[in-house]
């Protein structure tokens, strides 16, 4: 069975600092991995996804994530945080690549301070 663990339900960074949101997964087959962002009062929006190929994936708004099979991780990073990045971030895994089989983590709320 597939599962996702997001370490840290709340992360606070200063504006301009590195953002690192951690995600570890469990999957019995090569996984497809996703990061979604949820801004207040808005629907979830896909940031980036890994399916096959290059393990460093670039997404929208300057975010990127690296698939590390040996560590079963898919951490999300951004070199320089902006106030507008404050939101909740969800990591998700799919064993089939279809959205119907997505298993989400519990989310990490990112706070950006001045």
Q: In terms of Cα–Cα distance, which of 86, 74, 81 is closest to 5?
A: 74
Determine, following the binding rule CB under 8 A, whether residue 54 of this chain makes contact with another protein. Answer: no
Give strand pairing partners of 90. 36
How far is residue 2's CA from residue 104's CA, in Å, rounded to a whole number?
A: 10
Quick one: which of 1, 28, 52, 114 contacts another protein (CB under 8 A)? Answer: 52
Determine, following the binding rule CB under 8 A, whether residue 92 of this chain makes contact with another protein. Answer: yes
Determine, following the binding rule CB under 8 A, whether residue 47 of this chain makes contact with another protein. Answer: no
Determine, following the binding rule CB under 8 A, whether residue 51 of this chain makes contact with another protein. Answer: yes
Q: Are strands 10-14 and 108-113 parallel, antiparallel or unpaired?
A: parallel
> Could you list the residues that contact another protein (CB under 8 A)?
4, 9, 41-46, 51-52, 90, 92, 97-107
């Amino acid at each position: 069975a597939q599962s996702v663990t997001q370490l840290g339900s709340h992360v606070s960074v200063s504006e301009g600092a590195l953002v690192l949101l951690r995600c570890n997964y469990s999957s019995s087959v090569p996984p497809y991995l996703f990061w979604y962002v949820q801004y207040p009062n808005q629907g979830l929006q896909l940031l980036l996804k890994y399916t096959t190929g290059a393990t460093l994936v670039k997404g929208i708004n300057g975010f990127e994530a690296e698939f590390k099979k040996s560590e079963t991780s898919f951490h999300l990073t951004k070199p320089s945080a902006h106030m507008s990045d404050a939101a909740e971030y969800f990591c998700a895994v799919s064993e089939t690549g279809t959205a119907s089989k997505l298993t989400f983590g519990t989310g990490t709320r990112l706070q950006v301070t001045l």
